[in-house]
Copies of this chain bind each other. A is one copy, B any other.
Amino acid sequence: MTHTLAIGPYNDDEKQGLTQDLSPIYLDGPSGVAGLDPAQRDAITAVAYKGHHPFGADEMTLLPNIGVIANYGVGYDAIDVAAANERGIKVSNTPGVLNDDVADIAVAMLIMQGREMEQASAWARSGNWAEKGEYRLNRKVSGGRVGIVGLGRIGREIANRLAAFKMDMHYWSRTEKDTPGWTHHSDPVSLASAVDYLIVALVGGPDTENFVSKDVIAALGPRGVVVNISRGSTIDEGALLDALESRAIAGAALDVFQGEPKIDPRFYALDNVVIQPHQGSGTVETRAAMAKLQRDNVLAFLAGDALLTPVN
């Protein structure tokens, strides 16, 4: 009897690993749980979860014997951890292995926005360079003032990279961290007032919803740029769009959006936004490492060992 349920859009390499290690039942999404027959559901003791559809109390109730939900990804806001706690279900995620990739994307998006690299590329490719001359001057990035919102594992990787660009480094976090001369702010408005580039590296979920509020965005001012590689939920997106459209801030570079992949079409009309399709961790190397860490958490649970990267 199969003990593991693998839920989500796994690619072929990931399915091969899951089948080899766990021989799971596959479902495209959590809505399929109700369609399993009761004997199958009762036999399931572990869930390997991938995706952004909510996995909550209803699904857990349908799977009365699960002891672990192993999430694929560092952000586990799709999983109702409170409901899992009530049922004694352990939750794991895949931290660490994706920090470098997400930090790489954050730094590149920031420079692409300031240096208008997509527009400059289009200028060269359209023939304008040859016909009309140089692309217009843009904005120096190195030496600027950076504020990291959330100095966790990913925020720290971003900060370490940007420090090598001679940035004046600031950060918000609940507690002051041991940092090499970076300035701690206990209030996000204070942070935004002190910097030009605000980089959001928060955990998702209800606690951080709209943490980057209208007031935080306003405090950035006309030279301000918002970079988000965390979750769309962390920013008041309506306020951000208003500020971008009115040029109350200079621009944004976003890998994540509310309601993604169906993002607000107002973003498409803006020439001051770099858009990425939530590909922060989207490398062959890192996704393989994430998939393996997810499976290893399930295997540890099934063997009666402690989870490698527990959440709760």
Contact = CB atoms under 8 A, between A and B. Distances in A.
A303 interface: no
B125 A115 contact: no
A277 B124 contact: yes
A138 interface: yes
A283 B140 contact: yes
Contact of A120 (B166, B263, B276): B276
A268 to B, nearest CB: 6
Interface residues of A, number: 56
A232 to B, nearest CB: 13
Contacts of A278: 134
A284 interface: yes
B138 A283 contact: yes
Contacts of A130: 261-263
Interface stretch (A29-37, A86-94, A157-165, A200-208): A157-165
A134 B50 CA distance: 13
B137 A277 contact: no
Given A104-B115, A115-B105, A135 B277 contact: yes
Nearest to A161: B164
A25 interface: no
Contacts of A160: 164
Interface stretch (A39-47, A77-85, A106-114, A214-222): A106-114
A118 interface: yes
Interface of A: 9, 11, 100-101, 103-105, 107-109, 111-112, 115, 117-118, 120-121, 123-125, 129-130, 133-143, 160-161, 163-166, 260-263, 268, 274-279, 282-287
